Amino acid sequence: MSLDHYIPRCRGGLDEASNLFPAHKICNSIKSNLMPDEFERQKQKLYQTALDNWHLKHKEKQIVEKALQKMK
C-alpha cells in the first residue's frame, strides 16, 4: 500500500490528511498525476491499458483485474 494524493502535488495538492488516501502502489501508478475528475472519466481505459501493456507482477495483475471487474 501507498499514500496517494486526491489532488496531485504537481498540480497544487498538499501533503495534508484531507488530500491523502491509501492506494495499492499499482493503482497509484495508474492514476499518475490526474485530477480526480480526469481519472474518473478515464479509469476503465487506464486500468485496461495497464493490464494489456504493462509488465505487471502477478499480484499487481490480480489487483488490476479485480478493479476492472468492479467497474463493470
11-59: per-residue pLDDT in tens?
999 999 999 999 999 999 999 999 999 999 999 999 999 999 999 999 9
The pTM score is 0.92
Confidence of residue 72 (pLDDT cuts 50, 70, 90): confident
Long-range contacts of 46-54 (CB under 8 A, 24+ apart): 47/71, 50/26
User: How many distinct structural domains can be found in the chain?
Assistant: 1
State yes or no: pLDDT of 1 exceeds 90.
yes
Q: Could you list the residue range(s) of the whole structural domain that residue 31 is in? A: 2-71
